[in-house]
């Protein structure tokens, strides 16, 4: 059966979105191509009609995850973003949560195309969070500092057992520390 170009594009976007969530939940090496395609509702054989390699899909999945995050924070207030990010709800939603916290360390061990997509996604986040007028190098430095603290807190919290009070304490201490800064 012939599939329209529009349907091919929609199928590819669905595969990328599914991969983005599965990679965040299980890591790049935590899921193979066959299982990923099955989760997206397609056969393993169709993978190479859409992507040259798994690394090609990983790079697109990273971009998809960052784009989704940028859209969610656009227009939101800083305190709300920080409060939502450093919450138990976000901590427990790894598959749909922050790309940086879920895959940052894992991305460091991937091919350059994945690292480039990650860096471009981080730049997209910085742009989405930077006020367009009167932004300075100091503002950018402060934003990078805040993001790094938030991501680090999320990584540490997720590394603790779910019922460990330390997991929540990390989020609470960092949320308060960031929000209380002048």
CA distances from 170 to 101, 136, 180 (A): 14, 30, 15
CA distances from 14 to 8, 9, 21, 73 (A): 10, 9, 11, 22
Q: How far apart are the first and last CA of the chain?
A: 61
Taking the C-alpha atoms of residue 64 and residue 20, their distance in angstroms, rounded to an integer, is: 7
Question: So what's the pLDDT on residue 106?
Answer: 95
If one compares 135 and 137, the residue with the highest pLDDT of the two is 137
Length of the chain: 182
Helical pair 54-73 and 33-40, crossing angle rounded to 10 deg? 50
> What is the reported pTM?
0.90
Q: How confident is the model at residue 50 (pLDDT cuts 50, 70, 90)?
A: very high
All structural domains of the chain = 5-179 (1.10.357.10)
Q: Which two tokens stand for residue 133?
A: 């007028």
| Helix/strand/coil for 8 | helix
**DSSP codes joined into one string, 86-105:** TSHHHHH-GGGS-HHHHHHH
Question: So what's the pLDDT on residue 136?
Answer: 84
pLDDT tens digits for range 63-116:
999 998 888 887 788 899 999 999 999 999 999 999 999 999 999 999 999 999
Question: So what's the pLDDT on residue 178?
Answer: 96
């Amino acid at each position: 059966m012939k599939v329209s170009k529009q349907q091919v594009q929609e199928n590819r976007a669905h595969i990328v979105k599914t991969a983005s969530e599965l990679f965040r939940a299980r890591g790049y090496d935590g899921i193979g191509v066959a299982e990923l395609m099955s989760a997206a509702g397609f056969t393993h054989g169709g993978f190479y009609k859409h992507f040259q390699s798994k690394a090609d899909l990983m790079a697109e999945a990273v971009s998809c995850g960052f784009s989704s995050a940028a859209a969610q924070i656009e227009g939101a207030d800083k305190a709300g973003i920080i409060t939502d990010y450093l919450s138990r709800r976000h901590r427990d939603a790894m598959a749909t949560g922050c790309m940086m916290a879920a895959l940052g360390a894992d991305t460091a061990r991937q091919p350059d195309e994945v690292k480039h997509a990650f860096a471009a996604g981080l730049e997209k986040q910085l742009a989405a969070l930077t006020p367009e007028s009167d932004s300075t190098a100091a503002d950018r430095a402060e934003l990078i500092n805040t993001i790094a603290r938030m991501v680090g807190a999320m990584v540490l919290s997720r590394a603790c057992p779910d019922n460990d009070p330390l997991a929540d304490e990390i989020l609470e201490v960092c949320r308060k520390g960031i929000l209380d800064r002048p």
